[in-house]
Structure 1
Amino acid sequence: MAPKYTLKYFNLRGLGEPLRFLFAYGGIEYEDVRFSFEEWPALKGSMPYGKAPVIETDGEVLHQTMAMGRYLARQLKLTGGDDWEAMLCDMAIDTVTDFRLQIVGYHYEKDESLKAQKKEVLFNETIPYYLEKFDADVKKNDGHFVRGKLTWADLVIVAIFEMLQDMLQVNFTEKYSNLKGIMDKVLALPQIKEWVEKRPKTNY
């Protein structure tokens, strides 16, 4: 019997959305449990290492978004055709994680003077630098992030890009046609399109 999954995360897309994209793509049934920031202090102690998202399945509590994503991707045969392509998927996703952490660090900065300094660097240097390279990677890989084929890297990165754009209220693809192409391609997949249309509306 297939394992039953429960995903627990904030009522956000955030780091839960890459997992939701994978569940949706694979047609994997799961319970999407969401909680508020106000509820989090009471829940934090029950989470491995005090972090979310987590997936509960078969009496186990799993954590670390990309480890869980990699597990789901292997079930769905989305890690590429061999170990080298699996590594390329990991490399692309880890690079986007570096990018995401810089944006999130800016977004949640509480010191307004420090935030202003971070904003200048982020918008004038960091974002253009990464987007140019990501765009070149997609072009080199024939419209995908790895070897011209759909992998979990595409699903995860598009989910993260979509979230980050809404967090910053910017458009990552306006000047980058290859990035626009892969985002459009993933969001047009029937399973992903259906999920995006029905998912709860959140800011990011």
Structure 2
Amino acid sequence: MSQLTLTYFDIHGGRGEPARLALHIGGLPFEDKRFAFADFAEVRKSTPLNQVPTLHVDGVQITQSDAITRYVGKLAGLYPIDALQALLCDEVLSAVEDANVKIGTTFGLTGDTLKEARTALVKGPLPLYLGWLQTQLQAHGGEYFADQRLTIADLKVFVFVTSLNSGRMDHVPTDLVEKVAPLLNTHCQRIAQNPAVVAYYAKFNAP
């Protein structure tokens, strides 16, 4: 078994969370290396592209969150073997990442500039992506996004929807998902009730 170290912010969410969940669900031993936002300026100096998460595999540092999530998903048995189902899984990963990038452009903004940027997202891109995700969920059985079972696509969407619902993003209504794509909330609740997911968050006394 390879030695794995995942480095990411000390938060419940973000781009590192799907990989953390996959590793935990798969029962894979790994070092969960967390750091405070205040330490990011120093941490990023040691990363290939000045960003996190990164994954060390037997000392080799890997970057890019979806690549990391896909790799650990394979190790954990949470990535489809069938080529078409893998494609459907990847499609969802990429779509959510596109949405994350759009949200990311608003980080660091303040005041009216932040409000205008987030309001624009709520009126356009976010409903577009949420609606598409709901359509994909329905098209593939209504419970999971690919392979008729839990995969990393579900974990990626779970983290994304949880973040939108959290109230931690100013000017993003906490009922946005419920209004635009309520089946995603049902899906999110299903993932949250997975015994391994419950056990993971129980370690932190976190939702």
Give 2:127's aligned residue: 128
Higher normalized contact order (CA 8 Å, seq sep 6+, divided by chain length) = 1
Give 1:110's aligned residue: 109
* Aligned-residue identity in percent: 25
Matched-pair contact (CA < 8 Å) for 1:18–1:159: yes
Structure 2 counterpart of 1:185, which letter? R
Structure 2 counterpart of 1:158, which letter? F
**Counterpart among 157, 172, 185 of residue 190 in structure 2:** 185
Structure 1 counterpart of 2:22, which letter? L
Matched-pair contact (CA < 8 Å) for 1:100–1:164: no
Give 1:170's aligned residue: 174
Query: Which structure 2 segments of 5+ residues have no match?
Result: none
Question: 1: CA distance between counterparts of 2:110 and 2:188?
Answer: 33
Matched-pair contact (CA < 8 Å) for 2:146–2:153: yes
Q: Deviations over 1:41-88 (max 9, x none)?
A: 222221112111111231211111110111111222322241121111
Matched-pair contact (CA < 8 Å) for 2:161–2:177: no
Q: Deviations over 1:116-144 (max 9, x none)?
A: 32122112222222222211211111121
Answering whether residue 15 of structure 2 is matched by residue 15 of structure 1, we say yes
- Written as runs of structure 1 = structure 2, the 5 A alignment for 1:187-202 is 187-199=192-204, 201=206
Shift of 1:95: 0.5
Question: 2: CA distance between counterparts of 1:119 and 1:155?
Answer: 24
For the residue of structure 2 that corresponds to 1:174, the secondary structure is helix
TM-score scaled by length of structure 1: 0.87
Q: Deviations over 1:170-190 (max 9, x none)?
A: 145423332122212211111
TM-score scaled by length of structure 2: 0.86
Give 1:119's aligned residue: 118
**Deviating more after overlay: 171-180 vs 80-89:** 171-180
Root mean square deviation, CA, Å: 2.1
Query: Which structure 1 segments of 5+ residues have no match?
Result: none
